[in-house]
Amino acid sequence: MRSVSSERGARGRSRAVLVGIAAAALALGLALLLHPRPALGAVSVFLLGVVVASALGGALAGIVASIACFLSLSYFFTEPQNTLRVARTEDLVALVVFLLVALIVGSLVSRLLDERARAVRSEQEARLLSYFATKVLSGEPPDAQLRDLAASLVESLRLSRCEIHASIGERSFDAREVRSSKDERPASVVVLTIGGEEVGSLLAARDSAHEALDAADARLLEDAARQVTIALERAIKDEQIGRARTEAEVSEVRAALFSSVTHDLRTPLSSIKAGVTSLLQDETRFDAQQRHELLTTVLEETERLNRLLGNLLDLARVRAGALTPAKEPTALDEIVESVLHRLRRRLSGVHVRTILRDVPDVLADPVQLDQVLTNLLDNAVRFSPVGGEVTVSVAPWRSTVELRVADQGPGIQPDDRERVFEAFYRGDGSERPGSGLGLAIARAIVQAHGGQILIEGAPGGGTVVVVRLPVAGGSVGDPSR
Amino acid sequence: MTRVLVVDDEPQIRRALRTSLSAHGYEVQTVGAGEAAVLAAAEASPDLVVLDLGLPDLDGIEVIARIRSFSAVPVIVLSVRERQADKVGALDAGADDYVTKPFDVGELLARARAALRRSESHEVEAKLVFDDIEVDLGRRLVMVAGTPVHLTKTEYALLEAFVTNPGKLLTHQWLLRRIWGPAYQVESQYLRVYVRALRRKLGDQVSAPRLILTEPGVGYRWIAEP
């Protein structure tokens, strides 16, 4: 049942009057047909007419119908007939009582129906607000929430347009639902405020096919607006929390990395200082062999420190987005040769095997590729058993050139084969020497060249690092993903 | 007494080099900047210049160019790994060799010796022997372990360039110009192909090169000692 109290204004009133008169006329017609005149039993028919008028046209219609029926009764159904005069006193009393009863019944009926309509509407509103509240707590992104809210307002209030606009700090939110663009009535606008500050507005409009928004609708819009501001506040807070959490994580990671790096830098320095200061001790006499050993350690630690520094600088460049390779046509076998020669002392404890097939040139930065191979060989040596075999091979593979470095060490578990490429990751967390940067840098460089790097397991145990670089003029796909 | 001019803005490096070089019998003069280096090279006429590329006042390449305008003194350049382009630029401007910091003094001394040897002996022997390689420049004959080896014209030209400049770093550009002429149309990849072929014929292994050493991105060096 429509809400009858939404009828307002002159149009509504004239309509009510018409309804009242029409109901009375119908009742009159019915009464004339049913009862032989004059019979005051027609009263029951007229009373029915009043009830119908109130039900259909509201309180005003009921009043109009009451009066019209009263007059009809007086005219058609009391002596003398066809005049408004009433002969007998008891008839007059009966008529007056009828009028009173009609008025009372009419108002009761219309109020009853009003209450019912109001109850239905309240239920609708409650349901709508409950839906809003659920949406706000749902954790959906705020723009989606506002869109849903606007849509449900359009739905339940039969709006032609609903818009929500808000801006908080640097964030702005907009939602718009348009149902029809026929002549629109003036829109109702509710201002959204957070903490007393105006942050936006909620706009609702109906088109001319529907009645204008009334006070109850306005109240509903205000409640909805309050829900919208809650949703917005929540969205902002969530973003702030998210940012704070990320910052905390980042500074935690940074602190951990920093302490790891300072440790790694200090360790070789400690060995160097220890070696040198002990040689500087005047009291101690070292023989040539001991002196040679100490100094060899100092030299090795110097080289280790230099490698670490190279990796750290590359890491800094990667982080700053400045790792741009200076590419030129490069022969991978020449890189292998150069690095093997330079690292010959470091590789002295293992047996190096090379398998170098004919390969086309790759477009690459020779210094950076040198760094990649240096890091891979460094790892291979570190994890190889004494006298173990390290194999370096270069071969064509589809449209790429493939470089493989294999060792006979403990190998890397399949679960770890991606994680080892993370900066500062060191496998099972054991105190293995090595900065944990080698593979991370290698990957950054290889990827900056449009290539691919991955870990495979070797059939007899051990690790194989596979690097694929595009032949000059191509780029590697990503078949592993 | 061989005179060496050391140019580096770091006092610790100057001190370290002065100590090592004098211990090996060289007479050492040190300066800390480019302008002073050019002046010292002109006035003192050293037999060798060791030049750091990271000088505060003058670009290293500028220093070399200026010195080259009046002297052919061998110049060995000190540079950091990250400045690859500077290194190649220095070599192209006339430097004879380079050593990467942090450097091995032994390596520096070996390069210095090689550079000095080249500058002293302007006479090139007609017959050269390196391990099991024999090269007769007069008759253009090459023997490996007593067996004659046939080289193509280009391969021989390449070998000749190497053996007449032992220990010297020959840049791609230098080799291309020498073998194919100043208007060379050939890219360094082709040079690589010839080097590879030459190595194969001479029996040089990549995993343990003993004749030709590659400096990727820069050039090649004949490392066999006569």
Which tokens belong to A397?
A: 């593979």
Inter-chain touch B207–A353, beta carbons under 8 Å:
yes
Tens digit of pLDDT at every position of chain A (481 positions): 344 444 456 777 888 888 888 888 888 888 888 766 556 667 888 888 889 888 888 888 888 889 888 888 888 777 777 777 777 888 888 888 888 998 898 889 889 988 998 898 888 888 888 888 888 777 788 888 888 889 988 988 889 999 999 988 788 889 998 888 778 888 889 999 888 889 899 999 998 888 888 888 888 899 889 888 888 888 888 888 988 888 887 787 777 777 777 777 888 888 899 889 888 887 778 888 988 998 999 998 998 888 888 888 887 887 777 778 888 888 898 899 889 988 888 898 899 999 988 888 899 988 889 999 999 999 999 888 888 999 999 999 988 999 999 999 888 888 888 888 887 766 554 545 566 788 888 998 999 899 999 999 888 888 999 999 998 765 454 443 3
Min Cα–Cα distance to chain A from B60, Å: 21
Min Cα–Cα distance to chain B from A457, Å: 24
Q: Enumerate chain B positions whose Cβ falls within 8 A of a Cβ in A.
A: 81-82, 84-85, 102, 187-189, 192, 206-209, 213-217
Secondary element (H or E) of residue A300: helix A288-319
For residue A225, give the nearest of A248, A255, A202 by alpha carbon.
A202
A150-208: pLDDT as tens digits: 998 898 888 999 999 998 878 888 999 888 877 888 888 999 988 888 989 999 999 88
Among B187, B189, B206, the residue with its CB nearest the CB of A356 is B206
Distance between CA A162 and CA A221 in Å, rounded?
10
Inter-chain touch A353–B188, beta carbons under 8 Å:
no
Inter-chain touch A367–B192, beta carbons under 8 Å:
no
Min Cα–Cα distance to chain A from B215, Å: 6
The angle that helices A215-280 and A288-319 make with each other, rounded to 10 degrees, is: 160
For chain B, what is the total number of helices (H) and then of strands (E)?
Answer: 8, 12
- Residues whose CB falls within 8 Å of the CB of residue A8, separated by 6 or more in sequence, listed in order: A214
Distance between CA A298 and CA A275 in Å, rounded?
6
Ranges of beta strands (E only) in A179-276 are 188-194, 197-205
Classify residue A54 by burial, with Cβ atoms within 10 Å: 0-12, 13-18, 19+: buried
Contacts by B100-107, CB closer than 8 A, 24 or more apart: B102/A302, B102/A306, B103/B78, B105/B16, B105/B17, B105/B20
Min Cα–Cα distance to chain A from B126, Å: 31
Question: What's the gap between Cα B6 and its chain centre?
Answer: 17
Inter-chain touch A341–B209, beta carbons under 8 Å:
yes
| Type of residue found at B222 | W
Which tokens belong to A326?
A: 């200076």
Residue written as token pair 């350049």: B77
Q: Chain B residue closest to A326 (CA)?
A: B85
Q: Which of B189, B191, B195, B222 to mutate to test the interface with A (most CBs of A within 10 A)?
A: B189
Distance between CA A257 and CA A270 in Å, rounded?
20
Sign of CA dihedral B97, B95, B116, B19: negative
Q: Could you tell me whether strands B48-52 and B75-80 are parallel, antiparallel, or unpaired per DSSP bridges?
A: parallel
String of b and e for A135-172 (b: at least 16 CB within 10 Å)? bbeeeeebeebbbbbbbbbbebbebbbbbbbbebeeee
Q: Chain A residue closest to B223 (CA)?
A: A341
Which tokens belong to B199?
A: 């190595």
Q: Which of A276, A296, A337 to mutate to test the interface with B (most CBs of B within 10 A)?
A: A337
Residues of B in contact with A306 (CB under 8 A): 102
Instruction: Assess: ipTM above 0.95.
Output: no
Distance between CA A54 and CA A407 in Å, rounded?
97
A272-297: pLDDT as tens digits: 998 898 888 877 788 889 889 989 99
Can you give the pTM of this predicted structure? Answer: 0.59
- Alpha-carbon dihedral A86, A87, A91, A96, rounded to 10 degrees: 30
Question: What's the gap between Cα A248 and its chain centre?
Answer: 21
Among A336, A352, A366, the residue with its CB nearest the CB of B217 is A366
Min Cα–Cα distance to chain B from A341, Å: 7
Residues of A in contact with B206 (CB under 8 A): 333, 336-337, 340, 354, 356
In angstroms, the Cα distances linking A152 to A12, A125, A148, A328, B185 are 28, 11, 6, 62, 75
Residues of B in contact with A367 (CB under 8 A): 81-82, 84, 217
B166 touches B225 (CB < 8 A)? yes
Q: Chain A residue closest to B215 (CA)?
A: A338
Min Cα–Cα distance to chain B from A355, Å: 9
Q: What angle do CA B32, B38, B42 make, to 5 degrees?
A: 125
Tens digit of pLDDT at every position of chain B (226 positions): 899 999 999 999 999 999 999 998 999 999 999 999 999 999 999 999 999 988 889 888 999 999 999 998 999 999 887 677 788 889 888 898 988 888 888 889 888 888 887 777 666 678 888 888 888 888 888 888 888 989 999 999 999 999 988 888 888 888 998 888 887 766 777 888 899 899 989 888 776 788 898 888 788 998 887 7
Classify residue B68 by burial, with Cβ atoms within 10 Å: 0-12, 13-18, 19+: middle
